[in-house]
Amino acid sequence: MIKLNNVQKIYDNNKQRVTALKNINLEIKSGEIYGIIGYSGAGKSTLIRLINMLENPTAGEIWVNGQRMDRLNNEKLRLARQKIGMIFQNFNLLSSRTVRQNIAFPLEIAGYPKEKIDKRVSELIKLVGLTERADAYPSELSGGQKQRVGIARALANNPEVLLSDEATSALDPKTTESILNLLWEINRKFGITIILITHEMHVIKKICHRVAVIDGGEIVEEGPVTEVFGNPKKEITKEFVKQVPVLSGND
């Protein structure tokens, strides 16, 4: 489904070279929930932006659904991106649009007819539990409700991959729990591959099947969640394990 081969990302800033990612090799299976955990500055957000080509790799190959993303022309890349949904930490909603209109936005951009847009938006509003708030504006919503709109919008084009970049870090624990339950349900019902970027161990423990630990731009440990966090080998992994008292698999 998703494969990164020897991926490297280097930024040149004012004659200073910064290596954000070094020789990343990852394989994410179709239909799994895959976690990438690391502290701030570890390179995890750069990594997720490479998967949907919001950033170009300096070296290496990025494959999604059998397509080498870093070799696609602009038109093919635009079409490929429609199959990759993105959920953001700060929601990125359009303040002048209602819940319904925010969810409709990517479908309008893709040129769908109004009848099809209306039908799809109604389905998504129901899916994320916002039927009563369909005509509300972002300023009238709680953080959890805003993120539900963000999830619905990310699902609008029936993506095969859902990228979540710190989607719960701005939310309180109870709201985080409800958002993770929603993502788990979406994965279970539709088989969408979900990649979760986070610095929070409990997020990984709650719903991920496998996890990669990233530190200093490198993957230092990788494997099934129960294996990696049940028997951590690297010091940074041990630090993350300490965030959660008991590891009992995916609750």
Structure tokens at 112: 């769908």
Q: What stretch of H or E contains 131?
A: none
- What pLDDT score does 249 carry? 43
Q: What is the β-pairing status of strands 33-37 and 84-87?
A: unpaired
DSSP letter at 169? T
CATH of segment(s) 29-47+73-241: 3.40.50.300
- What pLDDT score does 170 carry? 84
Structure tokens at 94: 């359009």
- What pLDDT score does 90 carry? 87
List Cβ neighbours of 168 (8 Å cut-off, separation of 6 or more). Answer: 147, 175, 176, 179, 180, 198, 200, 203
- What pLDDT score does 6 carry? 97
Which CA distances in Å does 77 have to 56, 63, 74?
A: 12, 12, 5
- The residues with which 193 forms a beta bridge, in sequence order, are 161
| Closest alpha carbon to 47 in 227, 183, 185, 222 | 222
DSSP letter at 89? T
- What pLDDT score does 250 carry? 46
- What pLDDT score does 89 carry? 86
Q: What is the pLDDT along the chain (251 residues), one digit of tens a residue?
A: 999 999 999 998 877 899 999 999 999 999 999 999 999 889 999 999 999 999 999 999 999 999 999 999 999 999 999 999 999 888 999 999 999 999 999 999 989 999 999 999 999 999 999 999 999 999 999 999 999 999 999 999 999 999 999 989 888 999 999 999 999 999 999 999 999 999 988 899 999 999 999 999 999 999 999 999 899 999 999 999 888 755 444 44
pTM over 0.85: yes
Per-residue H/E/C for 32-45: CEEEEECCCCCCHH
Distance, in Å, from the CA atom of 128 to the CA atom of 117, rounded to the nearest integer, reads: 17
Query: Which amino acid belongs to residue 107?
Result: L
Structure tokens at 29: 């299976």
- What pLDDT score does 13 carry? 80
Domain boundaries, the chain: 29-47+73-241
